[in-house]
Amino acid sequence: MLLYYITDRKQFPGTVAEQRSKLLDKIAEAGRVGIDFIQLREKDLSARELESLARDAVSLLTDTTRDSRPVTRFLINSRTDIALACGTDGVHLTSTDISPADARAITSRSGRNDFLVAASCHSAQEVLLAESHGADFVVLAPIFGKASTGTHGLGLQSIRDLAHGSPDDRRIEAGDKRSRIPVLALGGVTIENAKACVDAGAAGIAAIRLFQENHVEHVVKSLRAY
């Protein structure tokens, strides 16, 4: 099960400086316990602030994972240029960003053939489009709805429609409404329902609160036990 931590420093209490510090602590913690991916999603920051935060996070993750495997891979939300400047592992694109193909072209010119390109998707059609444009994997959301906000989830069937094959093989044969690239489930995912996402065909799960509001080591151990 792939585990993808999406950051949101504003969920932490305290001043701006305290929130930043707590976020970096959480990123370091996630790296220590083997989270597969971390997406720095701080969309409100200026380019300079985002780059500064990203460089600090990269430094922490390098120190944390230098002597361990697997290494946590670190992605920047939307800003391919900052991701390249900071030497991160990749970029996570939304529907309003450049296409995965454009990001791939930019990174190839920079000599980063190992650069990861992920994409946010909200339908099967968007997943297939992201795949056709060269995304390495996608995050599909929201899988589960929220009664408190009236948000309707796509449901586990949306994952089943995209997935095919044995539980140990998440590479999908091309075909109508089927994805080749890994699909991670996001939106209302908990320790209790994560296994259902994987059983439906997801390659893993993505979350903000699940990781930020709990001890990451406990969450990872619980999810890896499935």
For residue 78, the one-letter residue type is S
pLDDT, one tens digit per residue, over 58-104 is 999 987 655 554 589 999 999 999 999 999 999 999 999 999 999 99
Query: Which CATH topology does 2-224 take?
Result: TIM Barrel (3.20.20)
Residue 38 predicted with pLDDT over 60 = yes
pTM of the predicted protein model = 0.90
Contacts with 210 (C-beta within 8 Å, 6 or more apart), sequence order: 189, 190, 191, 219
Specify the pLDDT at position 56.
Answer: 97
Specify the pLDDT at position 179.
Answer: 85
Q: Which residue has the higher pLDDT, 71 or 196?
A: 196
Residue with tokens 């790296």: 31
Cα separation, 69 vs 27, in Å, equals: 16
Distances (CA, A) of 219 to 54, 131, 196, 225: 24, 29, 16, 10
Q: What token pair was written down for 183?
A: 């699909």
**Please, are residues 171 and 165 in contact by the beta-carbon 8 Å criterion?**
yes
Q: For every residue of 74-122, which 3-state class applies, written as one string? A: EEEECCHHHHHHHCCCEEEECCCCCCHHHHHHHHHHCCCCCCEEEEEEC
CB atoms within 10 A of CB 19: 17
Tell me the pLDDT of the chain averaged across its residues. 90
pLDDT, one tens digit per residue, over 116-163 is 999 999 999 999 999 999 999 999 999 998 766 777 899 999 999 998
